[in-house]
Amino acid sequence: MTSERWFFGGDLGVGRVGYGTMKLTGWPRGDAPDRDTALAILRRAVELGVDHLDTSNYYARAGVAANELIRTALHPYPAGLVIVTKVGALVEGDDLGRPAAEHTGLTPDGLRRGVEANLRTLGLDRLDVVNLRLGDRGHADAPLEPALETLMALRAEGLIRHLGVSNVDRDQVDRARKAADIVCVQNLYNIAARDDDPLVDACAEAGIAYVPFFPVGGFAPLTADALSTVAARHGASVPQVALAWLLARSPNIVLIPGTGSLAHLEENVAAGGLRLTGEDLARLG
């Protein structure tokens, strides 16, 4: 695993390869591993040196909740483990199936309920980092500043350590930084989806972590001849090369690949040690 580290807000140090827990629940769609496998994946991640977990209270489906799995597998939490969560239009997992007009998560009361639900289900007194997620279906025009004002008030109460934003464009990031101290941006970005290239660089210049979701394609896994060629050269998998490309792309990129497979977890973590050559990077474009 890579020895490189990033510090959220200058004080929360994490390795640049973390783990995203969404796939442990099959939320919002897809298969989930059985409970024993899910718990084993979380414990193995920590054994492998992963010290950054990404989750949310609304990652829950069919009675399986990511936060409950984390708490069962790892509480009391090892020293140095950073758990990043998020709040937004959704508070509970089944909110996804309700009309957008019934989503209350972006109201002051809803944001408090979301934060308190994450605290309760994770068994924490304070959340390390809370991302405000915007742009969900039916909420594309949700106001940014009032939500951040609420989260800043919750931070002042001691319930949150740092704040980030998710699913946002450059203008929203700029506005967010005027309203609050922002330590990370979590957006869609991978080797095949590079629209955020300018934002990655802007975050790097500002000392803000950029955390790509769907780093290996998500529900549409990445495929490309160049990826396969570079993977064969290194005796690696295509997802490993895609993750290594992200790590090489910019030092502020912090990864949270998710998986419901122990074998894929091992591969993802090992990708932190894969060093692409200049020739590799030129071929990947």
Tens of pLDDT along the chain (285 residues) come to 445 899 999 999 999 999 999 999 999 999 999 999 999 999 999 999 999 999 999 999 999 999 999 999 999 999 999 999 999 999 999 999 999 999 999 999 999 999 999 999 999 999 999 999 999 988 988 889 999 999 999 999 999 999 999 999 999 999 999 999 999 999 999 999 999 999 999 999 999 999 999 999 988 889 889 999 999 999 999 999 999 999 999 999 999 999 999 999 999 999 999 999 999 999 999
* C-alpha R_g of the chain: 18
List the one residue out of 172, 177, 104 whose CA is nearest residue 139: 104
202 belongs to a structural domain: yes
Specify the pTM.
0.97
DSSP 251: T
- Confirm whether 246 is domain-assigned: no
The pLDDT assigned to 137 comes to: 81
End-to-end CA distance of the chain: 25
Give the range of the structural domain holding residue 73, as residue numbers without chain letter: 13-211+253-258
pLDDT the model gives residue 1: 46
Residue type at position 148:
L
Is the bond into 251 cis (omega within 30 degrees of 0)? no
Give a yes or no: residue 150 inside a domain: yes
CA 185 to chain centre: 9
- Give the DSSP letter of residue 22: G
Euclidean distance between CA atoms 224 and 202, whole angstroms = 28
Q: How many domains does the chain have?
A: 1
- 142 CB contacts (<8 Å, ≥6 apart)? 89, 106, 134, 135
- Residue 16 CA to residue 268 CA, distance in Å, equals 11
Task: Name every residue whose Cβ is closer than 8 Å to that of residue 133 and which is 6 or more positions away in sequence.
Answer: 86, 87, 88, 89, 165, 166, 167, 186
Compute the distance between CA of residue 40 and CA of residue 87 in angstroms, rounded to an integer: 26
**Joined tokens for residue 221:** 């896994």
The whole-number pLDDT of residue 32 equals 97
> Does residue 107 sit in helix, strand or coil?
coil
CATH for 136: 3.20.20.100
Q: What is the pLDDT of residue 4?
A: 84
Q: How far apart are CA 100 and CA 103, in angstroms?
A: 5
185 occurs within a structural domain: yes
Q: Which residues have a catalytic role annotated? A: 59
CB 100 within 8 A of CB 141: no
